Amino acid sequence: MNGPEYRVPSVELAGVTRTYLEGTAEEVHALRGIDLTIGSGEFVSVEGPSGCGKTTLLNLLGLLDAPTAGEIRWDGRSVGALTDRARARLRLEGVGFIFQRFYLLPTLTARENVELPMRALRVPRADRVERARELLREVGLTERERSYPHQLSGGEEQRVAVARALANRPGLLLADEPTGELDSGNTRAILDLLVRVREARKATLILVSHNPEVAARAGRHLTMRDGAVARDLREA
């Protein structure tokens, strides 16, 4: 479960632009020529007002989307122009997503949700069950492995989501407002959990949040405005 199993890439954006509805009257410039390098193992918070391009940036970093212009590189290798299938494979093996609304599959139990990414990698059933249980134990949900998402509290759902994000030992963890729907107690618990797993695995963690308490835990702070990085601040 520790470092060597995790492949932690450095991520680089060079002149990345993302425009929606390009060429139409409703054209939206979500990102405008972003140049950014995030080193392996960094903990970066992304802040900024609504609509400034935080989620678009996260989607591009996580290969959920492709740039309209510019280049995205993982460990120096261009990935922005990969096929859908190749991007999906990289996401499966290298990226763990944690969403504001948890996005657990309602028809699967907590353990099955955690097993899902491993199933896609054809991990043998016994191995993936063992690992899913281990991850659920790590996030404090040993007793809830057979519960369905609707039987869990918001904090528990997000902990399952964290366990799922870690299932395939990703080197890059992307969290989009992971505490946005949680109370302060659960916010602190989830944040502690994210910090703990990042440190244990030396993974890169990029976290979008409006919450200053959350952002304060990061070592680097990106502030975005109008689709561009307005400030890039590193903790001493």
Partner 1 sequence: MKERRLSRGRALRHSRLQLALAVAAIAAAVSLPVVLISVGGGVSAHELANLQSAGSQIVVSTSGLHSIAQSHTLAQQILRIGSVTAASPILSVAIDAFNATGSVDPVLAEGVIPAEFLPTVSPVERALFPSPLPLGEPTDLVHFDNGTYGGPANYSVIISTPYAQHANLTVGDRILLAPSPNPALGVEYNITGVFGVPPTVIGPTGAFAVMLPLSDLQVLTGYGPAATSPVPDGSDTIQVSVTGAAATHPAALQNVVDAIQQLVPKYSVSTLSQQVQQLEAASGVLTGFYVALSSVGLTIGLLFLALVLLRRVESDRRSIGIRRAIGLPGRMIASEILRAGLAISVAGALIGILVGWAVVEGLATWATSTVQEAAQLAIFSPVVLTEIALGVAGLSLLAGALAARSALRLEIGEALR
- Looking at beta carbons only, is 82 or 221 nearer to partner 1? 82
The b-or-e profile of 38-76 (16+ CB within 10 A means b, else e) is: bebbbbbbbbbeeebbbbbbbbbbbbbbbbeebebbbee
> Could you tell me which of 67, 81, 86 has the C-alpha nearest to residue 20?
67
Question: How many binding residues for partner 1 (CB under 8 A)?
Answer: 30
Q: Taking the complex as a whole, how short is the minimal distance between the CB of residue 219 and partner 1, in angstroms?
A: 26
Window 199-218: residues binding partner 1 (CB under 8 A):
none
Q: Taking the complex as a whole, how short is the minimal distance between the CB of residue 156 and partner 1, in angstroms?
A: 12
Spatial separation of the C-alpha atoms in residues 219 and 164, rounded to whole Å: 24
> Could you tell me which of 228, 220, 212 has the C-alpha nearest to residue 29?
228
Spatial separation of the C-alpha atoms in residues 216 and 44, rounded to whole Å: 10
Q: Taking the complex as a whole, how short is the minimal distance between the CB of residue 92 and partner 1, in angstroms?
A: 3
By CB under 8 A, which span of 35-43, 114-122, 133-141, 219-227 interacts with partner 1?
Answer: 114-122
Q: Is 185 in the site for partner 1 (CB under 8 A)?
A: no
Binding pattern for the stretch 37-56 against partner 1, x by CB under 8 A and - elsewhere: ------------------xx
Spatial separation of the C-alpha atoms in residues 203 and 159, rounded to whole Å: 17
Window 80-109: residues binding partner 1 (CB under 8 A):
84-85, 88-93, 95, 97, 99, 103-107
Q: Taking the complex as a whole, how short is the minimal distance between the CB of residue 128 and partner 1, in angstroms?
A: 14
- Looking at beta carbons only, is 98 or 193 nearer to partner 1? 98
- Looking at beta carbons only, is 39 or 51 nearer to partner 1? 51
By CB under 8 A, which span of 46-54, 113-121, 130-138, 216-224 interacts with partner 1?
Answer: 113-121
Residues making contact with partner 1 (CB under 8 A): 55-56, 59, 62, 64-65, 84-85, 88-93, 95, 97, 99, 103-107, 116-117, 119-120, 150, 154, 164, 181
